[in-house]
Amino acid sequence: MPCVCQQCLQHGQTLGLTQSPTARSALRKAYRTAAKLWHPDRFERDPDRRLEAEERFKQIQIAFRELAEHLETPVEWPVEPAFAPPAPTPVSPPIFFGGAPGCFVAPDFSPVAERIILAHVREPDRALAIVDLSGPGAEPGTFTQYILLTGHGLVVRDALNLVSLLWYDHLGEIRLVDKRRKGKLGLWHRFLENVSGTEQKYILEIRRRDGSLFHAVASQVDDSIKIILYNFLQQRRPEPRR
């Protein structure tokens, strides 16, 4: 019987698993795949992506170690389904993108967005909004990358096609980081701005409650969208523990 404690469910998402592993061979295979994808050496020429890779690589190590421990002594919750979301939140803060391309708010989702929502959202949860993060050069609404906001959490698909889930109960600090250093952009960021035709000043960092980086949104969308996401997620952060 696989462990279904909340910690293992989150670690399973970190390793790209749809459920907690029942055998060490499956766990080792998932670990090797995730570690290869996020090894920091792959991003040596991209400092921003290397920083994200270092955070993810660290979380992959933690996930593997703790899943291996719980594989020996699983926690069983016979009453709760394995991937049941937290209890529903009565009221969701409003979110509005002003008709920005690639941004949709319930109930007006595009057909592509509806297919993504169908794959990830189950009752009693519901989709609130989705943002296309495919980046400059991609046609808006293709959703090769995206951030999906639901009543209970957020789902992200990144440039490596990895899908990650973070419940709002585990949401930590949300940051808008000025990516200019001494008032200047690096070469890569200048290139992205030239391609997109839009000056991008901020990186939106979404962190877990333990302080680790969950996802960073850089030049994929305009700063105005990052600010909207920032304000929305700030309202969904859990109250600090006392």
- What is the three-class DSSP state of 175? strand
Look at residue 75 and tell me whether its pLDDT is greater than 50.
yes
Q: Which residue has the higher pLDDT, 8 or 228?
A: 228
pLDDT tier, 81 (very low <50, low <70, confident <90, very high otherwise): very low
Query: Starting from the edge strand earliest in sequence, which strands make up the sheet with 103-105, in order?
Result: 103-105, 127-132, 146-150, 153-157, 163-167
Place of tokens 């592509």: 112
CATH label, 6-72, candidates 1.25.40, 1.10.287, 1.10.3470, 1.10.8: 1.10.287
H or E element, residue 116: helix 111-120
H or E element, residue 231: helix 223-236
What tokens does 129 get? 């909004």
The pLDDT assigned to 84 comes to 47
Look at residue 127 and tell me whether its pLDDT is greater than 90.
yes
Look up the CATH number of domain 103-236.
Answer: 2.30.29.30
**What predicted TM-score, i.e. pTM, was given to this entire model?**
0.59
pLDDT tier, 135 (very low <50, low <70, confident <90, very high otherwise): confident
The pLDDT assigned to 241 comes to 56
The pLDDT assigned to 153 comes to 92
Domain edges within the chain: 6-72, 103-236
Q: Looking only at Cα atoms, what is the longest distance across the chain? A: 56
Look at residue 17 and tell me whether its pLDDT is greater than 80.
no
Beta strands per DSSP E along the chain: 103-105, 127-132, 146-150, 153-157, 163-167, 171-178, 202-208, 213-217
Nearest to 38 by CA among 189, 162, 167: 162
Query: In sequence order, what DSSP letters do the residues of 182-195 get, joined into one string?
Result: TTB--HHHHHHHHH
The pLDDT assigned to 4 comes to 58
Mean pLDDT over all residues of the chain?
78
The pLDDT assigned to 146 comes to 94
Asked if residue 157 lies in contact with residue 182, where contact means CB atoms within 8 angstroms, the answer is no
What gap in Å lies between CA 147 and CA 129, rounded to an integer?
8
Q: Which tens digits make up the pLDDT trace of 196-206?
A: 445 567 889 99
